[in-house]
């Protein structure tokens, strides 16, 4: 398979289809080393990674359900169950946290955010290269201030991705992809 064939075959494996085993320690080390080799204008390293695995996944799910129940007294039990199991399928979830300096004199916040987004994408590519499956998810926990505090995020930080990693239990479904010809044009001065 050529590198371009590899890129053309990239797809997300839904988290619900991921199971054990997760990445072995040497695979995880390689994945983390390569995931952070991204464009980084100004060498700010505007990202960090938080590993969520083992029993911490279930504890985080319970905390999500607790937060939601406190905020929404009429929340459906099904929604609470979804929150409890949100991190329960894949053996490893990596939270990609953007560290944005909004007041940086040279590097726009958008460039910092995009650098962190490249880390999340590299995790997807790296997982596939290792024969693992991965899915980039967000959901309400990625945007919630109380969840951010629970995860230990500091001022200027935000979760941009929860990348779920594991072994696919079945083939990932393909979805229709846009035709590049419909997305590309040439600028004419």
What digits encode the pLDDT tens for the residues 41-54? 999 999 999 999 99
Q: Which fold has domain 13-170?
A: NADH Oxidase (3.40.109)
pLDDT tens across 107-120, in order?
Answer: 999 999 999 999 99
DSSP H helical segments within 36-88, as ranges?
Answer: 55-71, 77-85
Percentage of residues in the chain having pLDDT higher than 90: 96
pLDDT tens across 70-112, in order?
Answer: 999 899 999 999 999 999 999 999 999 999 999 999 999 999 9
Tokens of 58: 């279930």
Q: Using an 8 Å Cβ cutoff, are 50 and 32 in contact?
A: no
Domain locations in the chain as residue ranges? 13-170
Q: How many Å separate Cα 122 from the centre of its chain? A: 10
pTM, to two decimals: 0.95
Q: How many Å separate Cα 100 from the centre of its chain? A: 17
CA distance 188 to 144: 43
């Amino acid at each position: 398979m050529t590198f371009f064939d590899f890129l053309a075959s990239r797809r997300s494996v839904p988290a619900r289809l991921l199971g054990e085993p997760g990445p072995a320690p040497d695979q995880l080390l390689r994945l983390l080393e390569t995931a952070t080799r991204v464009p980084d204008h100004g060498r700010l390293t505007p990202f960090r990674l938080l590993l969520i695995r083992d029993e911490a996944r279930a504890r985080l799910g319970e905390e999500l359900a607790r937060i939601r129940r406190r905020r929404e007294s009429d929340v459906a039990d099904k929604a609470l169950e979804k929150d409890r199991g949100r991190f329960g399928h894949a053996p490893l979830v990596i939270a990609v946290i953007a560290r944005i300096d909004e007041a940086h004199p040279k590097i726009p916040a958008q460039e910092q955010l995009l650098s962190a987004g490249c880390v999340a994408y590299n995790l997807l590519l790296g997982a596939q290269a290792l024969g693992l499956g991965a899915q980039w998810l967000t959901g309400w926990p990625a945007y919630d201030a109380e969840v951010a505090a629970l995860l230990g995020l500091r001022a200027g930080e935000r979760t941009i991705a929860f990348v779920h990693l594991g072994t696919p239990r079945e083939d990932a479904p393909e979805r229709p992809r846009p035709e590049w010809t419909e997305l590309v044009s040439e600028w004419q001065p």
